[in-house]
């Protein structure tokens, strides 16, 4: 039972740490566009495209 | 915090006086004073005083009575703005409530030289046009600053930046609430299932308190600030009951934690916060998505460097920056931004280009005929913005009921709490009631409906029309041209003389080759016969010489004059061919049906009428072919007007389809009007719905979507009534505890919102123009 006195405060601290991590991700722009990245996988450009606008990666 | 106006004076006992304009503390009482609303008021600075004097001096004191939030302190510096032309969209800053927008609109309208001003509440943008001789944009912006707001010309980048900030904050609030709720639930769980002992329970309570604190202070801030605004305006809105419930619940739980006895509901509070924020996040996302249909149009019109008369080159894959005419090159364009039709339209020299379309294949050189705010895209954007300002009557009623309902909730909570002398009953009542089903869900459905329609090339110029569209029983087409392609062709050749059919046609083609008359287009093809000295007789026909003899093509009278014989008895023929010796042939012409006409008439969920000004025979033939039972020909506009009136007397709800220009009174008589507006004059169209793609499919789509949208609105309103009627009394007699109330209310908000987000119709395929990829990429639909 005594472990509660350590584990509960620890979990509270962990909540704030995870909150901070999410804040970093959010303000790094990770959640700005939740739709386009899903389409990116379909539009994967593995066919050589005609035209000069293609930049090789 | 705010010192009430009227009690503020030099002898006041209050330590801090709030500025009458901006509500900030006044550093030195008596330094800045002005007479507003019949009393001397204190101001914090010269800026606020000047602003208040301007407002009062211009007769706009009503602003101070109706505003729901204090104003922003006026900025000292003046931002420079530059924009050419005489029309601009302005982003308004520091706007807090509807009274602010009213004030700005009044100021703009009274500004000398301003021709037109309108302020949109949803977008917080002002549309202003002015007389260049009398004023300038700088002066107009200055007049907005004079009453304490700021304005800058609409710039998509500024808008994007603001939007991104809002979106991030909302997501962050949602995360904090969700994560907090999860964690608090973990701490609450042992107490529900097992007796963990007083000490361990106390640790859990403190941990819950610690985690609920940021949920309440940060995540729930919008509810509290909203409630504060409502309080200042002395009205009760959606946020007041929620804020009271959350605040009370937290305060009582925190007290129980500190005192070490009593009930705690931290888990319910954070869960409620999470569910409500989730509902609001979805709402904001839906609003943005709907606005996105309009956004490319607005964005595109802010292209400034291009003016009328310029000659510009448009590379393939590029958006055409203004309306114009192709000078060189042959390509195709994707006009889906304007018409909703993603099939490429071929473009060659002389063809018209609409700004906002995407050039697909080859480079084009174009001459600009209209740029900026004059373009068709800009006109459509303005109409769409105006359309969003009106609401169906049902939605207006629902919002009024919601406002009354919030009073009932707060009063019931107070009475029930006092009667049972149990604060938790009051909290449960405050929390369980869900007026947002009435006030939040319907506007989303409307915004989505007009956004979806716009993406399909259907422009709703009055959202109020949705209600009539939903009930439409009869669709009246006002001309045969709406069902036909307008391209005339030869349906039948009747040889009357010695020449056979192909020879007659060859002769007719060769004669008509020199004519520009619409009928001549029926006779297109290679010229095989040599015509000497062709002459055009306007309104009659063409005469020419073939191997020395005179030949005429045209009306029966015109030809009978030449051959000297009475005209043959052929009723359906409209064009005749004759030479000096006698009749050669008669031609029957036909306007070919649109390929979709059959499907349109058969598939429409309403009765189709044809009320045309055309000759009765033509109308009859068309009606027979398409299976339209009610038709009438040779109708004057007055006849059409009476026709609609008669239908309406029989209790029918009539939708009229016209061209929107010449038949305005007839369109206005109908319950709802459609205009086939492929022309450039979208802004002049006086119709509720404009079909920008000039195709019939828009009509059944619009009817279907309106029905679906109104059904969703009605479902939500019905749900709100049933839910509140059951939950409110149960909570008031104490049968629903705070945690059940939180769960029910959160689930109800979320249900209503998710219902409002249900698809309104088949989703359009994934279109090239909305993606960042060139249109040659495969389609993903």
**Residue B591 annotated among the catalytic residues of the structure:** no
Residue of A nearest to B212 (CA): A12
Across residues B290-299, what is the average pLDDT?
66
Q: Which of B743, B768, B781 is nearest to B267 (CA)?
A: B743
Residue of B nearest to A33 (CA): B164
Across residues B308-325, what is the average pLDDT?
83
For B20-46, the DSSP string reads: TTT-PBPSSTTSEEEEETTEEEEESSH
Structure-model confidence comparison of residues B81 and A46, the more confident one: A46
Q: Please report the beta strands in B375-502, taking only residues with DSSP state E, as ranges in sequence order.
A: 458-460, 474-477, 484-495
Tokens 């029918």 belong to which residue?
B652
Across residues B763-773, what is the average pLDDT?
39
- Examine the pLDDT at B728 and tell me if it is beyond 60: yes
Q: How far does Cα B701 stand from its chain's mean position?
A: 16
Hey, how many other C-beta atoms are within 10 angstroms of the C-beta on A49? 11
Interval B502-513: pLDDT, tens: 888 888 888 887
Across residues B746-767, what is the average pLDDT?
75
Across residues B471-500, what is the average pLDDT?
80
| B175 and chain A in contact, CB less than 8 A | yes
Q: Quick check: B200 and A36 CB within 8 A?
A: no
List CB contacts of B695: < 8 A, sequence separation 6 or more.
B341, B594, B596
- Examine the pLDDT at B298 and tell me if it is beyond 60: yes
Chain A residues with CB under 8 Å of B204 CB are 8
Q: Which of B716, B222, B725 is nearest to B441 (CA)?
A: B716
User: How much is the pLDDT for B15?
Assistant: 52
User: How much is the pLDDT for B83?
Assistant: 42
Interval B429-459: pLDDT, tens: 988 887 777 777 787 888 888 888 887 888 8
- Examine the pLDDT at B774 and tell me if it is beyond 50: no
Q: Are strands B364-370 and B345-347 parallel, antiparallel or unpaired?
A: unpaired
Sorting pLDDT into bands at 50, 70 and 90, what band is B68?
low
User: How much is the pLDDT for B576?
Assistant: 86
User: How much is the pLDDT for B254?
Assistant: 94
Q: How many CB pairs under 8 A join A and B?
A: 49
Taking phi first (over 0 means left), then psi (-120 to 50 degrees means alpha), and beta for anything else, what does residue B336 get? alpha
Looking at the complex, report in whole angstroms how far the Cα of residue B370 sits from the nearest Cα belonging to chain A: 30
User: How much is the pLDDT for B160?
Assistant: 74
Sorting pLDDT into bands at 50, 70 and 90, what band is B292?
low
For B93-134, the DSSP string reads: ES--SHHHHHHHHHHHHHSTTEEEEEEETTTTEEEEEE-TTT
Of B168, B204, B771, the CB nearest to A8: B204
Hey, how many other C-beta atoms are within 10 angstroms of the C-beta on B143? 20
Chain A residues with CB under 8 Å of B773 CB are 43
User: How much is the pLDDT for A54?
Assistant: 45
- What gap in Å lies between CA B684 and CA B678, rounded to an integer? 12
Of A26, A36, A43, the CB nearest to B168: A26
User: How much is the pLDDT for B759?
Assistant: 82
User: How much is the pLDDT for A20?
Assistant: 92
* Active-site entry in B150, B374, B478, B659: B478
Across residues B739-759, what is the average pLDDT?
87
Is pTM beyond 0.90? Reply is: no
User: How much is the pLDDT for B155?
Assistant: 66
Interval B649-701: pLDDT, tens: 999 999 988 776 667 778 888 899 888 765 445 555 678 888 887 677 888 88
Residue of B nearest to A4 (CA): B200
List CB contacts of B683: < 8 A, sequence separation 6 or more.
B379, B382, B383
Q: Do B457 and B338 form a contact (C-beta atoms < 8 A)?
A: yes
- Examine the pLDDT at A49 and tell me if it is beyond 70: no
Of A11, A19, A42, the CB nearest to B176: A19
- Return the SS3 of B721: helix
Q: Quick check: B179 and A1 CB within 8 A?
A: no
For residue B204, what are the CA distances in angstroms to B8, B264, B273, B321? 48, 11, 20, 63
User: How much is the pLDDT for B527?
Assistant: 76
Chain A residues with CB under 8 Å of B176 CB are 19
- Substitution target in B161, B170, B175 with the highest count of A β-carbons within 10 Å is B175
Structure-model confidence comparison of residues B327 and B30, the more confident one: B327
Hey, how many other C-beta atoms are within 10 angstroms of the C-beta on B241? 28
User: How much is the pLDDT for B206?
Assistant: 92
User: How much is the pLDDT for A52?
Assistant: 47
Strand partners for B128: B88, B117
Looking at the complex, report in whole angstroms how far the Cα of residue B429 sits from the nearest Cα belonging to chain A: 31
Q: Quick check: A53 and B204 CB within 8 A?
A: no
- What gap in Å lies between CA B766 and CA B690, rounded to an integer? 23
Name the strand (E) or helix (H) holding B190.
helix B156-193
Of B164, B168, B207, the CB nearest to A8: B207
Chain A residues with CB under 8 Å of B180 CB are 15
- What gap in Å lies between CA B735 and CA B265, rounded to an integer? 17
- Examine the pLDDT at A44 and tell me if it is beyond 80: no
Chain B residues with CB under 8 Å of A8 CB are 187, 203-204, 207
- Examine the pLDDT at B11 and tell me if it is beyond 80: no
Q: How far does Cα B611 stand from its chain's mean position?
A: 30
Q: Which of B313, B301, B366, B368 is nearest to B338 (CA)?
A: B301
Pick from B189-203, B587-601, B725-739 the range whose average pLDDT is largest: B725-739
Of A5, A19, A43, the CB nearest to B179: A19
Of A19, A31, A42, the CB nearest to B171: A31
CA atoms within 13 A on the CB side of B39: 12
| Window 308-327 of B, Cβ < 8 Å to A | 317
| B773 and chain A in contact, CB less than 8 A | yes
Looking at the complex, report in whole angstroms how far the Cα of residue A56 sits from the nearest Cα belonging to chain B: 16
| A32 and chain B in contact, CB less than 8 A | yes
For B607-642, the DSSP string reads: EEEEE-SS-HHHHHHHHHHHT-SEEE-S--HHHHHH
User: How much is the pLDDT for B273?
Assistant: 92
Name the strand (E) or helix (H) holding B696.
none
Chain A residues with CB under 8 Å of B359 CB are none
- Examine the pLDDT at A35 and tell me if it is beyond 50: yes
Which ipTM score applies to this complex?
A: 0.70
Interval B351-380: pLDDT, tens: 888 888 888 888 888 888 887 777 777 777
Residue of A nearest to B173 (CA): A23
- What gap in Å lies between CA B512 and CA B493, rounded to an integer? 15
User: How much is the pLDDT for B120?
Assistant: 65
- Return the SS3 of A12: helix
Q: Quick check: B211 and A53 CB within 8 A?
A: no
Residue of A nearest to B181 (CA): A15
| B37 and chain A in contact, CB less than 8 A | no
User: How much is the pLDDT for A32?
Assistant: 76
Structure-model confidence comparison of residues B10 and B501, the more confident one: B501
Q: Do B323 and B338 form a contact (C-beta atoms < 8 A)?
A: no
Looking at the complex, report in whole angstroms how far the Cα of residue B356 sits from the nearest Cα belonging to chain A: 22
Across residues B613-639, what is the average pLDDT?
83
Interval B396-416: pLDDT, tens: 888 788 888 888 888 999 999
Q: Which of B468, B467, B394, B471 is nearest to B669 (CA)?
A: B468
| A55 and chain B in contact, CB less than 8 A | no
Structure-model confidence comparison of residues B636 and B29, the more confident one: B636
- Examine the pLDDT at B109 and tell me if it is beyond 70: yes
Q: Do B654 and B476 form a contact (C-beta atoms < 8 A)?
A: yes
- What gap in Å lies between CA B636 and CA B12, rounded to an integer? 75
- What gap in Å lies between CA B68 and CA B232, rounded to an integer? 6
Structure-model confidence comparison of residues B426 and B33, the more confident one: B426
| Window 177-216 of B, Cβ < 8 Å to A | 179-180, 183, 186-187, 197, 200, 203-204, 207, 210-211, 214
Structure-model confidence comparison of residues B26 and B767, the more confident one: B26
């Amino acid at each position: 039972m005594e472990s509660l006195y350590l584990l509960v405060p620890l979990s509270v601290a962990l909540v704030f740490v995870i909150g901070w991590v999410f804040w970093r991700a959010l303000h790094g722009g990770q959640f700005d566009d939740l739709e386009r990245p899903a389409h990116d996988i379909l539009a994967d450009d593995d066919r050589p495209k005609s035209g000069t606008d293609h930049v090789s990666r | 915090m705010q010192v009430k106006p009227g009690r503020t004076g030099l002898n006041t006992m209050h330590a801090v006086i709030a500025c009458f304009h901006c509500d900030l503390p006044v550093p030195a009482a008596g330094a800045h004073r002005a007479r507003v609303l019949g009393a001397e008021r204190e101001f914090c600075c010269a800026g606020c005083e000047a602003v208040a004097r301007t407002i009062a001096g211009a007769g706009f004191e009503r602003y101070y009575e109706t505003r729901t939030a204090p104003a922003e302190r006026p900025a000292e510096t003046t931002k420079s703005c530059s924009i050419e032309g005489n029309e601009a969209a302005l982003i308004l800053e520091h706007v807090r409530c509807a009274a602010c927008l009213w004030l700005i609109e009044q100021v703009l309208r009274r500004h000398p030289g301003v021709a037109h001003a309108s302020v949109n509440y949803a977008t917080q943008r002002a549309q202003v046009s002015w007389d260049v001789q009398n004023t300038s944009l700088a002066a107009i912006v200055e007049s907005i600053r004079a009453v304490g707001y700021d304005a800058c010309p609409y710039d998509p980048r500024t808008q994007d930046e603001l939007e991104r900030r809002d979106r991030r904050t909302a997501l962050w609030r949602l995360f904090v609430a969700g994560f907090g709720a999860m964690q608090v639930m973990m701490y609450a769980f042992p107490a529900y299932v097992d007796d963990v002992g007083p000490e361990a329970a106390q640790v859990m309570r403190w941990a819950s308190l610690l985690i609920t604190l940021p949920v309440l202070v940060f995540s729930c801030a919008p509810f509290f600030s909203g409630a504060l605004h409502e309080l200042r305006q002395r009205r009760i809105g959606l946020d007041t009951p929620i804020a009271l419930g959350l605040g009370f619940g937290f305060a009582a739980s925190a007290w129980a934690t500190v005192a070490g006895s009593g009930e705690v509901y931290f888990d319910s509070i954070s869960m409620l916060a999470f569910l409500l924020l989730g509902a609001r996040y979805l709402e904001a996302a839906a609003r943005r998505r709907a606005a996105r249909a309009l956004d490319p149009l607005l964005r595109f019109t802010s292209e400034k460097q291009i003016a009328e008369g310029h000659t510009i080159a448009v590379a393939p894959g590029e958006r055409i920056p203004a309306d114009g005419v192709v000078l060189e090159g042959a390509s195709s364009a994707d006009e889906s931004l304007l018409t909703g039709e993603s099939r490429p339209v071929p473009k060659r020299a002389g063809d018209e280009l609409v700004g906002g379309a995407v050039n697909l294949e080859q480079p084009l050189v174009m001459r600009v005929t209209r740029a900026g705010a004059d373009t068709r895209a800009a006109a459509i954007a303005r109409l769409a913005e105006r359309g969003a300002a009106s609401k169906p009557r049902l939605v207006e009623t629902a919002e009024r009921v919601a406002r009354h309902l919030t009073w009932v909730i707060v009063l019931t909570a107070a009475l029930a709490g006092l009667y049972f002398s149990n604060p938790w009953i009051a909290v449960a009542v405050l929390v369980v009631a869900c007026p947002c089903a009435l006030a939040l869900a319907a506007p989303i459905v409307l915004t989505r409906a007009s956004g979806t329609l716009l993406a399909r090339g259907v422009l709703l110029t009055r959202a109020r029309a949705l209600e009539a569209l939903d009930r439409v029983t009869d669709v009246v087409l006002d001309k045969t041209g709406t069902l036909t392609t307008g391209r005339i062709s030869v349906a039948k050749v009747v040889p009357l003389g010695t020449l056979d059919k192909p020879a007659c046609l060859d002769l007719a083609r060769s004669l008509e080759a020199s004519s520009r008359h619409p009928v001549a287009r029926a006779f297109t093809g290679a010229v095989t016969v040599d015509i000497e000295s062709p002459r055009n007789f306007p309104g009659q026909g063409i005469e020419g010489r073939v191997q020395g003899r005179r030949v005429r093509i045209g009306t029966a009278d015109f030809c009978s004059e030449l051959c000297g014989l009475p005209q043959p008895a052929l009723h359906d023929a409209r064009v005749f061919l004759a030479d000096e010796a006698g009749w050669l042939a008669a031609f029957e012409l036909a306007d070919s049906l649109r390929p979709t006409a059959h499907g349109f008439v058969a598939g429409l969920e309403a009765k189709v009428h044809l009320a045309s000004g055309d000759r009765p025979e033509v109308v009859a033939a068309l009606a027979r072919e398409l299976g339209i039972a009610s038709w009438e020909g040779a109708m004057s506009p007055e006849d059409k007007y009476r026709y609609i009136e008669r239908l309406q007397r029989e209790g029918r709800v009539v939708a009229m389809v016209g061209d929107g220009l010449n038949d305005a009174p007839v369109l206005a008589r109908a319950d709802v009007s459609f205009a086939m507006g492929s022309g450039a004059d979208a802004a002049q169209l006086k119709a509720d719905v404009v079909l920008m793609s000039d195709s019939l499919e828009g009509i059944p789509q619009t009817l279907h979507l309106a029905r679906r949208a109104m059904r969703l609105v009605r479902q939500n309103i019905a749900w709100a009534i049933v839910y509140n009627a059951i939950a409110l009394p149960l909570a008031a007699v104490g049968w629903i505890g705070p945690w059940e109330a939180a769960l029910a209310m959160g689930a109800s908000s979320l249900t209503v919102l998710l219902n409002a987000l249900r698809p309104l119709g088949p989703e359009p395929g994934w279109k090239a123009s909305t993606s960042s990829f060139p249109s040659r990429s495969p389609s993903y639909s």
